[in-house]
Amino acid sequence: MSKRCCAASCFNAVTTNRSVEYFGFPKSNEYAAAWAKAAGREDLLDKSLSNIIKYFLCSEHFSDDCFQDPPHNRKLKKTSRPVVVPIPTIFHNNFNECVSKALKEERTSMSVIEVDNIVGISEQMSIPETVFVDDSLNESEEVQSLEPIVIEAVGDVVISNEQQTSDYAEPTDIEVIEQYADLKVEEEEHNLSFIEDTATPEQLMHSQQEYDDGDTFERTTYTELIVGPNSCRLCLSIKGNELFVPIFDYGSEVAYILDTLLPGAVKPDDGLPQQICLACLESATRCLSTIEKFKAIQDKLKELQ
């Protein structure tokens, strides 16, 4: 399994941030407990040392004087006789730096829109059935450089209201609309027909999910969702594996967050999805932070009594 920093409100992982080092917990009960308390992970104290040492903290939580090689900060100062291990002292919420960055990359990554019927193709152009949008292009410059025409898209691809109401007599190019929604390519018509043919009745849930790309786009409603291994545990949306965060991965704080918000509702052996999407992780983290603030204020009020 990939290494993840287990500190509360730290979202660094080898898969998303290789610029920091990841250190396994000390093989000492005293120092392992000190690391867990400093990282806000008192829940680890209930585990055996053999399990605690499987967790990691990243180098961002240690001051420069804790390292043998500053400013690279790849090797901690520690001795075995006597056992002396640096204690992490720097902790802050880096959610916006890690998760929001990943969401931004998802929105700007290359998207594929399959076009069923294209109206008014220029005679000089040969347009393939599948149109790719290069994420290296600036979206605003790209749209300005193309002459807008009406296109019909497969399935539930969102079409601009402006395109539906405007009358273009002689279009010369194709305006490619990049769609970002909870349900992506898997929701297109050919994939949905495949899912409906292969899914069991028990897998189909009657639900409604609305998503909106902004005021200039139509809102699309979905009435059927699939509950399976590729669904988000909290919102049931279907995404690519790289857009999920495992709930029970070693060093992951997601299980702690969900158990605090939904005590006993999410278990590793319940046969339900074992990951959540980045959007739900952001919402859950903010919810937990709000609850912790409320609790802290109540504790202070009790002290004043």
Annotated binding site: 232, 235, 277, 280
Identify which of 231, 289, 233, 232 has the alpha carbon closest to the alpha carbon of residue 260. 289
Beta bridge partners of 204: 226
- Whether the bond between 88 and the residue before it is cis, its omega within 30 degrees of 0, is no
Give the up-direction half-sphere exposure of residue 301: CA atoms within 13 A in the CB hemisphere. Answer: 6
Tokens of 217: 């786009």
What is the torsional sign of CA 176, 181, 186, 187?
Answer: negative
| Residue type, position 55, single letter | Y
Task: Measure the CA–CA gap between 45 and 216, rounded to whole angstroms.
Answer: 52
- Residues 171, 149: contact at Cβ < 8 Å? yes
Torsion of CA 179, 183, 185, 188, to 10 degrees: -100
Q: At what angle do helices 278-304 and 95-108 cross, to 10 degrees?
A: 160
The answer to whether residues 277 and 237 touch, using CB atoms and an 8 Å cutoff, is yes
Q: Which amino acids are annotated as binding site for Zn(2+), given as ranges?
A: 232, 235, 277, 280
What is the Cα 2 distance to its own chain's centre?
A: 16
Q: How far is CA 208 from CA 81, 142, 226, 282, 288, in A?
A: 62, 34, 12, 22, 26
Nearest 5°: the CA angle 223, 198, 224 is: 5
